[in-house]
């Protein structure tokens, strides 16, 4: 009984306290309710609105972390356009505190000791669509299709690679669901969608095998009476693989096939077998003194392609007769178009122009066969007067001087530029050490040029195409042009050029890009270094330390058992005098025969102890800190002579003293009497 009474008393007291608290907090937010960790219990609705507005404002900076195998991507709710919907969140808070009256006392007790977290309502900003971070949207990729290639004579393939792209819709949903809970930071996992290549690995393997089977027997090509069988490996190397409409296929590399046919079956197949002489008149190509048939017709590659598709193991190609036209015959040889041309200017009528034009004349008509090289020094040899060259300016070791054949570096530069842009390999080259503006290329670039001298430096190029290249220089009184004729093989351009200074020298680095018929690219680099002026290196010193040049103008004078030798100082080379930097410290004279010497700092000396009557010649060398010069030109032959004995002086006989004859006394002439001077009459005084 007592227990029952106590329980009733406690219950009554509990209900009474609840009733009082309920009356006090009527129309307020229920006790213990939080929104994103912020306590809103006991607030009036107006106070709740203020709190929710503050929450909505700060919510835009809530971190959003999207986790993926590519790394975590971080953003914020504001950046993805998610905001708190205040009205809907207000309703959710009220709904959380709205419980049936019969259970409300129990919730009241519970809320005295525990919090209730209200969910929030989120929405997209009215002025912004839902967007994912740029990291996601830019991370999309395409699948990599299988690739076929010829390896060790067999067609093989590389597996395709599926693409992994973000599933943006799934990521959106995950962010929305997490945002509605009010969690901070919002962490979601990135979902991916896999995109497979159009061609499966199994299909790629099947295509490779069928291509190997198709070419297993190689291909026999018949041209007139000539026959050649190309091996399976050779035929497979002609193939270029690609995808068309999602299906693997192949075509023939036209230049490679034509080149292979030309190597084995090309040229003239009747009357003559040698390479014809090709000339250019007003830009028009023609073949000289040739009447024959040649391999092969223009549609030869197409005919081979169709035969291979049909599974044929041999194919007959048609010959071209000279009567079919010059263009077709030139095409059969592979010399059918201008592939590159370069022009450089020069002043008229100088001796160097004679050398340039003579060099061009000798090289004109040269044909560089497929895979062959052309060395300018080997082709022309040493430049001599017998070959038509004359003395002109030349750069030797960074100094301007004179030499037979000087000036032909302009031909080397012009030829270099034509070969550079024609896609030929540059095997050997050596840029000038001094920059001349006339050597700029067609876009005014420095560094795309080369010099030449005998026996070095040299300029050598190699033909990388399967077609012959005709070298055809032309000239005027003020310019040189080098034209190259062949079949276009490589597309060539300057992909970049850098200039830098090293001490007083300018360094130019040029990168050339060649696009080959098989789609591959080749990059090669060319360097040039230009000193500041003639004879001066990058450090402001002479380009190279060296001994002096030999003395000149050796003169001799005979004496008794001795010869007096005199000479002039070495002659400067051009405008550069090495002795200004490395002064002469002594001269040494040597007699021949005998080897008697004398050394001096003067420009004359005497060699004694020689045999009178014996002929001698003398050479002089100059010495500086870097060593001895070469011997001078020998003097004239001269023999010492003894001094002649003096003849006695005869005593002169005295001459008689002549008796002087008396001079006659002159008769004096009478002096004239002076004429008296008349006195002047007085001047009358004027009257007033």
Evaluate whether 275 touches 468 at the Cβ level (below 8 Å).
yes
- The stretch 49-69 carries a mean pLDDT of 80
Pairing of strands 391-396, 399-404: antiparallel
Place 176 in a pLDDT band, splitting at 50, 70 and 90.
confident
Place 105 in a pLDDT band, splitting at 50, 70 and 90.
low
Task: State the pLDDT at residue 684.
Answer: 39
- Least reliable range by pLDDT among 130-144, 226-240, 466-480, 497-511: 130-144
40 or 675, which is more confident? 40
pLDDT at 324 over 70: no
Give the span between the Cα atoms of 272 and 287, in whole angstroms: 13
Evaluate whether 409 touches 423 at the Cβ level (below 8 Å).
no
Evaluate whether 77 touches 84 at the Cβ level (below 8 Å).
no
- Least reliable range by pLDDT among 101-105, 630-634, 648-652: 101-105
Six-digit token pair at 36? 């994103």
pLDDT at 53 over 90: no
- The stretch 323-342 carries a mean pLDDT of 76
Helix (H) or strand (E) run with residue 286 in it: strand 284-288
Task: Give the residue among 568, 591, 598, 439 at the shortest CA–CA distance from 508.
Answer: 439
Place 686 in a pLDDT band, splitting at 50, 70 and 90.
very low
Considering the entire predicted model, what is its pTM?
A: 0.46
19 or 200, which is more confident? 200
Task: State the pLDDT at residue 325.
Answer: 59
Place 127 in a pLDDT band, splitting at 50, 70 and 90.
low
DSSP state for residue 324 in the 8-state scheme: G
Give the span between the Cα atoms of 414 and 438, in whole angstroms: 10
Task: Give the residue among 312, 223, 320, 299 at the shortest CA–CA distance from 265.
Answer: 223
Evaluate whether 365 touches 371 at the Cβ level (below 8 Å).
no
Q: What angle do CA 404, 410, 413 make, to 5 degrees?
A: 130
- The stretch 471-487 carries a mean pLDDT of 93
Please confirm whether the linkage preceding 546 is cis (ω < 30° from 0).
no
Tally of CB atoms within 10 A around 126: 7
pLDDT at 452 over 60: yes
pLDDT at 677 over 80: no
Task: State the pLDDT at residue 436.
Answer: 84
Task: State the pLDDT at residue 260.
Answer: 87
- The stretch 219-235 carries a mean pLDDT of 90
685 or 449, which is more confident? 449
- The stretch 227-243 carries a mean pLDDT of 92
Give the span between the Cα atoms of 333 and 468, in whole angstroms: 7
């Amino acid at each position: 009984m007592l227990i029952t009474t106590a329980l009733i008393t406690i219950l009554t007291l509990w209900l009474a306290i609840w009733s009082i608290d309920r009356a006090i907090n009527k129309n307020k937010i229920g006790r213990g309710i939080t929104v994103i960790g912020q306590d809103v219990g006991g607030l009036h609705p107006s106070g709740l609105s203020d709190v929710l507005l503050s929450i909505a404002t700060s919510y835009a900076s809530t971190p959003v972390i999207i986790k993926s195998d590519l790394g975590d991507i971080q953003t914020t709710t504001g950046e993805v356009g998610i905001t708190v919907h205040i009205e809907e969140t207000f309703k959710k808070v009220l709904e959380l505190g709205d419980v049936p009256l019969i259970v409300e006392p129990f919730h009241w007790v519970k809320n005295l000791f525990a919090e209730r977290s209200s969910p929030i309502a989120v929405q997209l900003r009215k002025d912004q669509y839902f967007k994912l971070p740029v990291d996601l949207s830019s991370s999309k990729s395409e699948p990599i299709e299988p690739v076929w290639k010829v390896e060790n004579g067999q067609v093989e393939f590389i597996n395709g690679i599926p693409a992994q792209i973000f599933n943006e819709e799934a990521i959106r949903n995950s962010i929305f669901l997490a945002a509605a809970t009010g969690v901070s930071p919002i962490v979601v996992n990135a979902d991916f969608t896999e995109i497979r290549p159009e061609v499966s690995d199994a299909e790629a393997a099947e295509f490779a095998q069928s291509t190997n089977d198709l070419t297993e027997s190689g291909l026999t090509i018949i041209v007139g009476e000539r026959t050649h069988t190309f091996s399976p490996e050779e035929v497979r190397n002609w193939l270029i693989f690609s995808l068309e409409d999602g299906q693997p296929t192949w075509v023939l590399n036209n230049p490679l096939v034509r080149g292979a046919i030309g190597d084995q079956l090309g040229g003239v197949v009747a009357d003559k077998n040698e390479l014809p002489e090709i000339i250019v008149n007003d830009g028009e190509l023609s073949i000289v003194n040739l009447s024959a048939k040649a391999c092969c017709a223009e549609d030869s590659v197409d005919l081979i392609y169709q035969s291979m598709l049909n599974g044929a193991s041999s194919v007959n190609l048609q010959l071209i007769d000279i009567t079919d036209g010059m263009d077709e015959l030139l095409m059969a040889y592979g010399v059918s178009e201008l592939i590159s041309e370069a022009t450089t200017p020069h002043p008229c009528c100088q001796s160097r122009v004679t050398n340039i034009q003579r060099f061009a004349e000798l090289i004109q008509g040269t044909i560089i066969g497929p895979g062959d090289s052309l060395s300018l020094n080997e082709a022309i040899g040493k430049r001599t007067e017998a070959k038509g060259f004359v003395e002109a300016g030349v750069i030797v070791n960074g100094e301007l001087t004179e030499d037979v054949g000087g000036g032909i570096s302009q031909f080397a530069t012009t030829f270099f530029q034509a070969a550079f842009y024609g896609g030929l390999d540059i095997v050997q080259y050596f840029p000038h050490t001094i920059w001349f503006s006339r050597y700029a290329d067609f876009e005014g670039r420095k560094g795309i040029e080369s010099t030449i001298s005998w026996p070095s430096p040299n300029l050598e190029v190699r033909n990388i195409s399967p077609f012959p290249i005709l070298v055809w220089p032309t000239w005027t009184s003020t310019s040189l042009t080098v034209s190259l004729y062949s079949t276009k093989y490589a597309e060539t351009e300057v992909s970049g050029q850098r200039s830098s200074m090293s001490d007083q020298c300018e360094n130019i680095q040029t990168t050339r890009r060649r696009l080959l018929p098989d789609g591959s690219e080749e990059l090669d680099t060319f360097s040039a270094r230009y000193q500041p002026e003639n004879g001066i290196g990058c450090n402001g010193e002479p380009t190279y330390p060296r001994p002096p040049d030999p003395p000149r103008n050796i003169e001799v004078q005979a004496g008794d058992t001795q010869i007096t030798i005199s000479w002039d100082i070495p002659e400067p080379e051009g405008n550069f005098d090495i002795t200004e930097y490395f002064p002469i410290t002594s001269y040494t004279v040597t007699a021949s025969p005998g080897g008697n010497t004398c050394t001096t700092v003067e420009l004359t000396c005497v060699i004694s102890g020689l045999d009178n009557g014996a002929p001698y010649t003398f050479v002089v060398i100059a010495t500086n800190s870097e060593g001895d010069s070469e011997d001078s030109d020998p003097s004239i032959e001269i023999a010492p002579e003894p001094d002649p004995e003096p003849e006695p002086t005869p005593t002169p006989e005295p001459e008689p003293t002549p008796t002087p004859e008396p001079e006659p006394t002159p008769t004096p002439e009478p002096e004239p009497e002076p004429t008296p001077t008349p006195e002047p009459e007085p001047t009358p005084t004027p009257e007033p």
